[in-house]
Amino acid sequence: MAEGSTATRVRRTKAEQRAESLEQILDAAEYLFSVNGLHGVTLRDVAKRVGVHTTLLHYYFQDKKSLFEAVFARRASVTSNRRIEALDRYIAETAGKPTLKGALTVFLDTDLDLYIERGEPWRNYAAFCARVSNTPEGAELMDVHFDPVVLKLIAILKEARPDIPEEDIFWGYHFVTGALMNTLARTGRIDRLSGGLCRSDDFPAVKKRLAKFMAAGFEALKD
């Protein structure tokens, strides 16, 4: 029994070590992809940042594309599920009477809270998504991982304002996601334009303004 227990502990330790190695690889790849994009990163770059040989990466991933997809998926399920749950709660709380501002606030703030509360790893993921969302590879993954929550938001926006043409609802979301992705990219441009008055990494300031601004934009579309 003692020997079996020891073997079990060894196996568990090895499993924990593999899990830790995998997380280190994903963290390194996430950062590098956020800075250089899919085509600007090699498996050798990732291995070097982790401090391992490239053969270890091949143990976990068939190729760079599979690593890229794993990086995308790792946090996508977290943000999507949080948003869906938050939107469901919002619908229940408003008893079928949602508002543009209310729905947008839930959708945007639930995501922004992740970047505010969970620090740099999540902010790297945000920059990663912002960079790859405008590439064919990234757009495909956006479709797979984020369409359910986006379509739920759009349905709520339609319910909130049935007087706004459906075409304008979709355009409105297009503008919302464009502003969000530009924010998540943290390029520093607003820092330079404002002479330091605004900072591209100031997510609380974004959270205070973005939903309100976008809701007003939807209102303007009906005119």
Split the chain (223 residues) into runs of 10 and give each run's mean pLDDT.
Answer: 49 74 91 88 92 89 92 92 96 94 97 92 90 85 93 97 95 95 93 96 96 95 77
The string of DSSP letters for 174-212 reads HHHHHHHHHHHT--SHHHHHTTTSS-TT-HHHHHHHHHH
Enclosing domain of residue 43? 2-221
Instruction: Say how far apart CA 30 and CA 167 lie, in whole Å.
Output: 35
- How many domains would you assign to the chain? 1
Match 């490239």 to its residue by tokens. 54
pTM here is 0.84
* CATH code of the domain containing 118: 1.10.357.10
pLDDT of residue 1: 45
